[in-house]
Protein backbone atom coordinates (compact mmCIF):
# COMPACT_ATOMS: atom_id res chain seq x y z
CA UNK A 1 0.00 0.00 0.00
CA UNK A 2 1.35 3.48 -0.86
CA UNK A 3 1.69 6.20 1.79
CA UNK A 4 -1.21 8.05 0.15
CA UNK A 5 -3.45 4.96 0.36
CA UNK A 6 -2.52 4.46 4.01
CA UNK A 7 -3.24 8.12 4.76
CA UNK A 8 -6.64 7.84 3.07
CA UNK A 9 -7.61 5.02 5.43
CA UNK A 10 -6.50 6.73 8.64
CA UNK A 11 -9.35 7.43 11.06
CA UNK A 12 -9.82 10.15 13.67
CA UNK A 13 -12.57 10.74 16.26
CA UNK A 14 -13.61 13.95 14.52
CA UNK A 15 -13.67 12.20 11.13
CA UNK A 16 -15.98 9.49 12.49
CA UNK A 17 -18.36 12.09 13.89
CA UNK A 18 -18.40 14.04 10.61
CA UNK A 19 -19.15 10.84 8.68
CA UNK A 20 -22.12 10.14 11.00
CA UNK A 21 -23.32 13.74 10.65
CA UNK A 22 -23.11 13.69 6.84
CA UNK A 23 -24.91 10.30 6.73
CA UNK A 24 -27.76 11.82 8.71
CA UNK A 25 -27.94 15.28 7.17
CA UNK A 26 -26.07 15.35 3.86
CA UNK A 27 -22.84 17.02 2.68
CA UNK A 28 -21.32 20.06 4.43
CA UNK A 29 -19.45 23.05 3.00
CA UNK A 30 -15.65 23.06 2.92
CA UNK A 31 -15.82 26.11 5.22
CA UNK A 32 -17.73 24.12 7.85
CA UNK A 33 -15.31 21.22 7.42
CA UNK A 34 -12.27 23.51 7.90
CA UNK A 35 -13.80 25.27 10.89
CA UNK A 36 -14.37 21.90 12.61
CA UNK A 37 -11.09 20.25 11.58
CA UNK A 38 -9.10 23.22 12.91
CA UNK A 39 -11.29 24.74 15.59
CA UNK A 40 -13.37 21.96 17.17
CA UNK A 41 -12.98 22.63 20.92
CA UNK A 42 -11.92 19.09 21.75
CA UNK A 43 -10.71 17.31 18.61
CA UNK A 44 -9.79 20.16 16.26
CA UNK A 45 -6.17 20.47 15.15
CA UNK A 46 -5.54 23.67 17.11
CA UNK A 47 -6.88 22.35 20.40
CA UNK A 48 -5.54 18.82 20.15
CA UNK A 49 -2.12 19.12 18.59
CA UNK A 50 -0.91 22.30 17.08
CA UNK A 51 2.65 21.38 16.23
CA UNK A 52 4.71 24.26 14.89
CA UNK A 53 8.49 24.08 14.41
CA UNK A 54 11.09 21.60 13.25
CA UNK A 55 9.76 18.81 15.48
CA UNK A 56 6.09 19.43 14.56
CA UNK A 57 3.98 19.42 11.41
CA UNK A 58 5.05 22.70 9.78
CA UNK A 59 7.54 25.53 10.20
CA UNK A 60 6.89 29.26 9.90
CA UNK A 61 9.10 32.26 9.16
CA UNK A 62 9.70 33.36 12.78
CA UNK A 63 10.70 29.78 13.63
CA UNK A 64 13.24 29.78 10.79
CA UNK A 65 15.13 32.96 11.68
CA UNK A 66 15.00 35.63 14.39
CA UNK A 67 15.66 38.20 11.66
CA UNK A 68 12.02 37.92 10.51
CA UNK A 69 10.56 39.09 13.84
CA UNK A 70 13.29 41.68 14.33
CA UNK A 71 12.55 43.36 11.00
CA UNK A 72 8.83 43.31 11.78
CA UNK A 73 9.74 44.86 15.14
CA UNK A 74 11.52 47.68 13.28
CA UNK A 75 8.46 48.08 11.02
CA UNK A 76 6.18 48.34 14.07
CA UNK A 77 8.43 50.85 15.87
CA UNK A 78 8.58 53.00 12.76
CA UNK A 79 4.80 52.83 12.40
CA UNK A 80 4.41 53.82 16.07
CA UNK A 81 6.74 56.83 15.52
CA UNK A 82 4.73 57.83 12.44
CA UNK A 83 1.56 57.65 14.55
CA UNK A 84 3.13 60.30 16.83
CA UNK A 85 4.51 57.86 19.47
CA UNK A 86 1.19 57.51 21.35
CA UNK A 87 1.76 56.90 25.08
CA UNK A 88 -0.61 53.95 24.93
CA UNK A 89 -1.62 51.81 21.96
CA UNK A 90 -2.84 48.30 21.12
CA UNK A 91 -0.30 45.88 19.69
CA UNK A 92 -2.41 42.98 18.40
CA UNK A 93 -1.06 39.72 17.05
CA UNK A 94 -3.48 37.32 15.34
CA UNK A 95 -2.50 33.65 15.74
CA UNK A 96 0.84 34.06 17.57
CA UNK A 97 1.82 30.37 17.40
CA UNK A 98 4.54 29.69 19.95
CA UNK A 99 5.08 33.40 20.67
CA UNK A 100 8.39 33.56 18.81
CA UNK A 101 7.44 36.46 16.54
CA UNK A 102 6.18 38.64 19.42
CA UNK A 103 9.23 37.84 21.50
CA UNK A 104 11.57 38.88 18.64
CA UNK A 105 9.46 42.00 17.98
CA UNK A 106 9.65 43.14 21.61
CA UNK A 107 13.41 42.49 21.80
CA UNK A 108 14.05 44.46 18.61
CA UNK A 109 11.77 47.29 19.78
CA UNK A 110 14.25 48.08 22.56
CA UNK A 111 15.78 50.57 20.07
CA UNK A 112 12.89 52.81 21.27
CA UNK A 113 12.13 51.87 24.89
CA UNK A 114 8.94 53.98 24.85
CA UNK A 115 7.39 51.47 22.41
CA UNK A 116 7.02 48.48 24.70
CA UNK A 117 6.05 50.66 27.68
CA UNK A 118 3.22 52.13 25.62
CA UNK A 119 2.06 48.81 24.15
CA UNK A 120 -0.92 46.82 25.40
CA UNK A 121 -0.17 43.52 23.71
CA UNK A 122 -3.28 41.50 22.80
CA UNK A 123 -2.71 37.96 21.52
CA UNK A 124 -5.68 36.50 19.61
CA UNK A 125 -5.29 32.75 20.02
CA UNK A 126 -7.76 29.87 19.77
CA UNK A 127 -5.49 27.14 21.11
CA UNK A 128 -5.10 26.65 24.86
CA UNK A 129 -1.84 24.80 24.32
CA UNK A 130 -0.35 27.57 22.24
CA UNK A 131 -1.53 30.20 24.75
CA UNK A 132 0.49 28.31 27.32
CA UNK A 133 3.60 28.34 25.07
CA UNK A 134 3.13 32.06 24.43
CA UNK A 135 2.78 32.82 28.14
CA UNK A 136 6.00 30.95 28.92
CA UNK A 137 8.01 32.55 26.14
CA UNK A 138 6.81 36.11 26.89
CA UNK A 139 6.87 35.88 30.70
CA UNK A 140 10.14 37.77 30.96
CA UNK A 141 9.08 40.81 28.91
CA UNK A 142 7.94 43.97 30.68
CA UNK A 143 5.13 44.68 28.18
CA UNK A 144 1.56 44.19 29.36
CA UNK A 145 0.12 41.07 27.68
CA UNK A 146 -3.44 39.77 27.48
CA UNK A 147 -5.19 37.08 25.45
CA UNK A 148 -8.41 37.27 23.40
CA UNK A 149 -10.60 34.93 21.40
CA UNK A 150 -11.12 37.38 18.56
CA UNK A 151 -10.07 40.80 17.23
CA UNK A 152 -13.47 42.22 18.25
CA UNK A 153 -12.21 42.32 21.87
CA UNK A 154 -9.65 44.99 20.92
CA UNK A 155 -10.12 48.19 22.96
CA UNK A 156 -10.37 51.62 21.29
CA UNK A 157 -7.23 53.69 20.67
CA UNK A 158 -4.34 53.64 18.20
CA UNK A 159 -3.67 50.09 17.05
CA UNK A 160 -0.99 48.10 15.26
CA UNK A 161 -1.90 44.57 14.11
CA UNK A 162 0.35 41.78 12.86
CA UNK A 163 -0.73 38.44 11.42
CA UNK A 164 1.75 35.91 10.07
CA UNK A 165 0.22 32.73 8.62
CA UNK A 166 -3.14 33.48 10.26
CA UNK A 167 -5.50 34.27 7.37
CA UNK A 168 -4.56 30.97 5.67
CA UNK A 169 -6.30 29.12 8.55
CA UNK A 170 -9.62 30.88 7.99
CA UNK A 171 -12.35 28.79 6.32
CA UNK A 172 -12.90 29.03 2.56
CA UNK A 173 -15.70 27.80 0.30
CA UNK A 174 -14.98 26.40 -3.15
CA UNK A 175 -17.07 26.73 -6.32
CA UNK A 176 -16.53 24.63 -9.43
CA UNK A 177 -17.56 25.65 -12.96
CA UNK A 178 -19.38 22.48 -14.05
CA UNK A 179 -21.00 21.78 -17.44
CA UNK A 180 -24.26 23.13 -16.06
CA UNK A 181 -22.81 26.25 -14.34
CA UNK A 182 -21.38 27.04 -10.90
CA UNK A 183 -21.75 24.39 -8.19
CA UNK A 184 -20.39 24.49 -4.64
CA UNK A 185 -17.81 21.81 -3.84
CA UNK A 186 -18.91 20.06 -0.64
CA UNK A 187 -17.63 17.38 1.71
CA UNK A 188 -19.75 14.23 1.44
CA UNK A 189 -19.17 10.47 1.65
CA UNK A 190 -17.17 8.17 -0.64
CA UNK A 191 -18.66 5.13 -2.43
CA UNK A 192 -18.27 2.89 0.61
CA UNK A 193 -20.12 5.39 2.81
CA UNK A 194 -17.35 4.99 5.41
CA UNK A 195 -14.96 7.73 4.29
CA UNK A 196 -15.12 11.42 3.35
CA UNK A 197 -14.99 12.54 -0.29
CA UNK A 198 -15.58 15.74 -2.27
CA UNK A 199 -18.89 16.07 -4.06
CA UNK A 200 -20.73 18.83 -5.93
CA UNK A 201 -23.97 20.47 -4.82
CA UNK A 202 -26.91 19.52 -7.05
CA UNK A 203 -28.17 23.08 -7.47
CA UNK A 204 -26.46 26.46 -8.17
CA UNK A 205 -25.24 28.49 -5.18
CA UNK A 206 -27.41 31.34 -3.98
CA UNK A 207 -26.24 34.93 -3.52
CA UNK A 208 -22.55 34.28 -4.12
CA UNK A 209 -20.57 36.76 -6.24
CA UNK A 210 -19.04 34.50 -8.92
CA UNK A 211 -17.79 35.44 -12.41
CA UNK A 212 -20.11 34.96 -15.37
CA UNK A 213 -19.91 31.26 -16.25
CA UNK A 214 -19.34 32.17 -19.92
CA UNK A 215 -15.96 33.69 -18.96
CA UNK A 216 -14.65 30.64 -17.12
CA UNK A 217 -13.48 27.24 -18.42
CA UNK A 218 -15.36 24.12 -17.30
CA UNK A 219 -13.51 22.54 -14.36
CA UNK A 220 -12.20 25.86 -12.94
CA UNK A 221 -12.32 26.29 -9.16
CA UNK A 222 -12.81 29.56 -7.29
CA UNK A 223 -12.29 29.99 -3.55
CA UNK A 224 -14.11 32.53 -1.40
CA UNK A 225 -13.36 33.21 2.25
CA UNK A 226 -16.20 35.06 3.95
CA UNK A 227 -14.31 34.80 7.25
CA UNK A 228 -11.22 36.57 5.82
CA UNK A 229 -13.27 39.33 4.22
CA UNK A 230 -15.27 40.01 7.37
CA UNK A 231 -12.16 40.04 9.58
CA UNK A 232 -10.41 42.42 7.14
CA UNK A 233 -13.50 44.69 7.23
CA UNK A 234 -13.54 44.65 11.01
CA UNK A 235 -9.83 45.52 11.26
CA UNK A 236 -10.19 48.27 8.64
CA UNK A 237 -13.13 49.83 10.50
CA UNK A 238 -11.11 49.83 13.70
CA UNK A 239 -8.04 51.41 12.03
CA UNK A 240 -10.18 53.99 10.25
CA UNK A 241 -11.78 55.02 13.54
CA UNK A 242 -8.77 54.86 15.87
CA UNK A 243 -5.67 55.26 13.59
CA UNK A 244 -3.18 52.53 12.91
CA UNK A 245 -1.89 49.86 10.60
CA UNK A 246 -2.12 46.11 10.04
CA UNK A 247 0.63 44.00 8.51
CA UNK A 248 -0.64 40.73 7.04
CA UNK A 249 1.93 38.19 5.84
CA UNK A 250 0.87 34.90 4.31
CA UNK A 251 1.18 32.71 1.28
CA UNK A 252 -1.31 33.59 -1.33
CA UNK A 253 -2.18 35.26 -4.58
CA UNK A 254 -3.05 38.75 -5.67
CA UNK A 255 -6.16 37.81 -7.65
CA UNK A 256 -8.77 35.15 -8.37
CA UNK A 257 -8.03 32.21 -10.59
CA UNK A 258 -5.52 30.25 -8.59
CA UNK A 259 -7.79 27.20 -8.43
CA UNK A 260 -8.00 24.67 -5.62
CA UNK A 261 -5.44 25.59 -2.92
CA UNK A 262 -6.89 23.67 0.02
CA UNK A 263 -4.04 21.70 1.53
CA UNK A 264 -3.26 19.64 4.60
CA UNK A 265 0.18 19.13 6.11
CA UNK A 266 1.32 16.58 8.68
CA UNK A 267 4.89 15.90 9.79
CA UNK A 268 6.22 18.36 7.18
CA UNK A 269 4.58 16.44 4.30
CA UNK A 270 1.37 16.97 2.32
CA UNK A 271 -1.56 14.97 3.62
CA UNK A 272 -4.95 14.25 1.95
CA UNK A 273 -7.17 17.11 3.22
CA UNK A 274 -10.15 14.85 4.03
CA UNK A 275 -8.18 12.15 5.88
CA UNK A 276 -8.30 12.01 9.67
CA UNK A 277 -9.50 15.61 10.26
CA UNK A 278 -8.01 17.09 13.43
CA UNK A 279 -4.69 15.32 13.01
CA UNK A 280 -3.31 17.50 10.20
CA UNK A 281 -3.04 21.25 9.68
CA UNK A 282 -5.40 22.57 7.00
CA UNK A 283 -4.93 25.82 5.08
CA UNK A 284 -5.76 27.61 1.83
CA UNK A 285 -3.93 30.35 -0.04
CA UNK A 286 -4.89 33.85 0.99
CA UNK A 287 -6.79 35.98 -1.52
CA UNK A 288 -5.04 39.34 -1.02
CA UNK A 289 -7.29 41.04 -3.57
CA UNK A 290 -10.38 40.14 -1.52
CA UNK A 291 -8.76 41.42 1.71
CA UNK A 292 -7.71 44.64 -0.06
CA UNK A 293 -11.25 45.18 -1.39
CA UNK A 294 -12.76 44.70 2.07
CA UNK A 295 -10.23 47.15 3.54
CA UNK A 296 -10.77 49.87 0.91
CA UNK A 297 -14.56 49.57 1.24
CA UNK A 298 -14.13 50.27 4.95
CA UNK A 299 -12.09 53.42 4.55
CA UNK A 300 -8.40 52.55 4.91
CA UNK A 301 -5.48 52.62 2.47
CA UNK A 302 -3.92 49.42 1.14
CA UNK A 303 -0.22 48.98 0.30
CA UNK A 304 1.09 45.93 -1.52
CA UNK A 305 0.97 43.01 -1.63
CA UNK A 306 4.76 43.00 -1.84
CA UNK A 307 6.61 39.72 -1.96
CA UNK A 308 8.02 38.69 1.42
CA UNK A 309 11.51 38.78 -0.11
CA UNK A 310 11.15 42.38 -1.33
CA UNK A 311 9.52 43.50 1.92
CA UNK A 312 12.29 42.02 4.08
CA UNK A 313 15.00 43.47 1.84
CA UNK A 314 13.46 46.94 2.05
CA UNK A 315 13.31 46.59 5.84
CA UNK A 316 17.08 46.00 5.94
CA UNK A 317 17.48 42.20 5.74
CA UNK A 318 21.04 42.25 4.38
CA UNK A 319 22.35 44.65 7.01
CA UNK A 320 20.66 42.82 9.86
CA UNK A 321 22.03 39.46 8.68
CA UNK A 322 25.57 40.85 8.44
CA UNK A 323 25.30 42.34 11.93
CA UNK A 324 24.05 39.04 13.37
CA UNK A 325 26.68 36.97 11.57
CA UNK A 326 29.57 39.16 12.70
CA UNK A 327 31.35 37.53 15.59
CA UNK A 328 29.83 34.06 14.94
CA UNK A 329 31.94 31.07 13.89
CA UNK A 330 31.68 29.71 10.33
CA UNK A 331 28.89 27.29 11.25
CA UNK A 332 26.86 30.01 12.99
CA UNK A 333 27.30 32.35 10.04
CA UNK A 334 26.22 29.66 7.58
CA UNK A 335 23.09 29.03 9.64
CA UNK A 336 22.14 32.72 9.71
CA UNK A 337 22.67 33.08 5.97
CA UNK A 338 20.69 29.88 5.22
CA UNK A 339 17.75 31.11 7.34
CA UNK A 340 17.68 34.49 5.59
CA UNK A 341 17.90 32.84 2.18
CA UNK A 342 14.98 30.56 3.02
CA UNK A 343 12.83 33.57 4.01
CA UNK A 344 13.72 35.79 1.08
CA UNK A 345 14.78 33.77 -1.95
CA UNK A 346 12.27 33.50 -4.77
CA UNK A 347 12.60 29.76 -4.95
CA UNK A 348 11.75 29.29 -1.27
CA UNK A 349 9.43 31.52 0.78
CA UNK A 350 10.42 34.85 -0.79
CA UNK A 351 7.83 35.12 -3.54
CA UNK A 352 4.88 32.85 -2.69
CA UNK A 353 4.64 34.61 0.69
CA UNK A 354 3.43 38.17 0.50
CA UNK A 355 3.03 41.18 2.78
CA UNK A 356 0.01 43.48 2.70
CA UNK A 357 -0.43 46.63 4.78
CA UNK A 358 -3.73 48.26 5.74
CA UNK A 359 -3.11 51.80 6.97
CA UNK A 360 -5.37 54.62 8.12
CA UNK A 361 -5.33 57.50 5.66
CA UNK A 362 -3.73 60.15 7.86
CA UNK A 363 -0.50 58.13 8.12
CA UNK A 364 2.31 58.40 5.54
CA UNK A 365 3.03 55.45 3.21
CA UNK A 366 4.33 52.56 5.36
CA UNK A 367 7.95 51.38 5.34
CA UNK A 368 8.71 48.23 3.33
CA UNK A 369 6.23 48.98 0.53
CA UNK A 370 8.07 51.70 -1.43
CA UNK A 371 7.95 51.03 -5.17
CA UNK A 372 11.45 50.35 -6.49
Contact 204, 183 (CB under 8 A): yes
3-class DSSP state of 328: coil
Q: Taking the complex as a whole, how short is the minimal distance between the CB of residue 191 and ligand SAH, in angstroms? A: 33
The residue number whose beta carbon is nearest to ligand SAH equals 95
Question: How many Å apart are CA 92 and CA 104, to the nearest integer?
Answer: 15
| The one among 63, 133, 223, 250 contacting ligand SAH by CB under 6 A | 63
Beta-sheet pairing, 286-287 with 244-253: parallel
3-class DSSP state of 215: helix
Contact 348, 311 (CB under 8 A): no
Stretch that binds ligand SAH, among 114-122, 158-166, 195-203, 354-362 (CB under 6 A): 158-166
x/- mask, ligand SAH, residues 80-119, rule CB under 6 A, reads ---------------xxx---x------------------
| DSSP secondary structure code for residue 52 in this structure | B
Question: How many Å apart are CA 162 and CA 244, to the nearest integer?
Answer: 11
Helical segments of 202-361, H only: 226-242, 288-297, 308-314, 317-325, 330-344
Comparing CB distances to ligand SAH, the nearer of 56 and 204 is 56
Q: Does 75 bind ligand SAH (CB under 6 A)?
A: no
Comparing CB distances to ligand SAH, the nearer of 83 and 170 is 170
Q: Does 124 bind ligand SAH (CB under 6 A)?
A: yes
3-class DSSP state of 145: strand
Q: What are phi and psi of 246, to 5 degrees?
A: -125, 135
Q: Does 130 bind ligand SAH (CB under 6 A)?
A: yes
| The one among 109, 127, 220, 360 contacting ligand SAH by CB under 6 A | 127
x/- mask, ligand SAH, residues 242-261, rule CB under 6 A, reads --------------------
Query: Which residues, including other chains, have CB under 8 Å from residue 156's CB and lie 6 or more apart?
Result: 241, 242
| DSSP secondary structure code for residue 154 in this structure | P
Stretch that binds ligand SAH, among 106-114, 165-173, 177-185, 262-270 (CB under 6 A): 165-173
Question: How many Å apart are CA 4 and CA 283, to the nearest integer?
Answer: 19
Comparing CB distances to ligand SAH, the nearer of 137 and 314 is 137
Q: Taking the complex as a whole, how short is the minimal distance between the CB of residue 149 and ligand SAH, in angstroms? A: 7
Contact 295, 236 (CB under 8 A): yes
Q: Does 165 bind ligand SAH (CB under 6 A)?
A: yes
3-class DSSP state of 164: strand
| The one among 66, 159, 164, 220 contacting ligand SAH by CB under 6 A | 164
Q: Does 169 bind ligand SAH (CB under 6 A)?
A: yes
Q: Which residues are 224's β-sheet partners? A: 173
Q: Taking the complex as a whole, how short is the minimal distance between the CB of residue 84 and ligand SAH, in angstroms? A: 28
Reference 277, options 43, 37, 48; nearest CA is 37
x/- mask, ligand SAH, residues 1-40, rule CB under 6 A, reads -------------------------------------xx-
Question: How many Å apart are CA 93 and CA 100, to the nearest integer?
Answer: 11
Comparing CB distances to ligand SAH, the nearer of 72 and 310 is 72
Stretch that binds ligand SAH, among 126-134, 213-221, 257-265, 308-316 (CB under 6 A): 126-134
Binding residues for ligand SAH, per CB under 6 A?
38-39, 46, 50, 52, 60, 62-63, 95-97, 101, 124-127, 130, 164-166, 169
Amino acid sequence: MTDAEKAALEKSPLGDRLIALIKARGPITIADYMADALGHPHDGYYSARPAIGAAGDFTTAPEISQVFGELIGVWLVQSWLEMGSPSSFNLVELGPGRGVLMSDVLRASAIRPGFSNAASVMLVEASGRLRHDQERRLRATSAHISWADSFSECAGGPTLVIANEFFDCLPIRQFVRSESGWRERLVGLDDTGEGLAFTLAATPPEATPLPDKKDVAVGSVIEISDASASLASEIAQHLQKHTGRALIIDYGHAGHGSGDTLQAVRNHAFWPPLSAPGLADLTAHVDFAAISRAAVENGVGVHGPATQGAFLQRMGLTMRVEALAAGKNAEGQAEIHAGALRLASERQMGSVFKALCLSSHELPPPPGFETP
